[in-house]
Structure 1
Amino acid sequence: MGDRWHVEVDREICIGSGMCVGVAPDGFALDSARQSHPKEGETDASETVLEAAETCPVEAIVITLAGSGKAVFPPGG
């Protein structure tokens, strides 16, 4: 069985660029205030979700391993 990730968006940092939604529309959505949020708080490890986190211009997306809390992105975070 593959890794499970816990995905969060720091809404105080998010600038609503929408890049995460463009890269991973199945993983993220913008609300009426143009703030990003994950569609699911926990998801299977996914290259597209990781790419969305990496392309966020303000690094508002935090991914950790579900259960252990070990940082996936940002690395060492």
Structure 2
Amino acid sequence: MALKIDEEACIGCELCVQVCPDVFEMNDDGKSIIKPGSDENLECVDEAIDSCPTSAIIKE
């Protein structure tokens, strides 16, 4: 599985960080990013995807 963030869709609400702080963090531009080396298979990733108001988190 590959996980990515659509930076244009991300509004910086930080819900993904609140739901899954082991995988997501905010960058200097106020957009969500995936932490390098994080375990993208954690259960909270699916919850973060479902919580994102703009569907900016994409699982391929």
> What's the TM-score, normalizing by structure 1?
0.70
Larger RCO: 1 or 2 (CA < 8 Å, sep 6+): 2
What is the CA RMSD across the aligned residues, in angstroms? 1.7
**Amino acid of the residue matched to residue 7 of structure 1?**
L
Distance in structure 1 (CA, Å) of the matches to 2:11 and 2:37: 20
% identical aligned pairs: 37
Q: Which has the larger radius of gyration?
A: 1
**Amino acid of the residue matched to residue 14 of structure 1?**
C
Deviates more, 1:35-44 or 1:18-27: 35-44
| 2:39 alignment counterpart | 43
Count of residue correspondences: 60
Give the structure with the larger helix fraction: 2
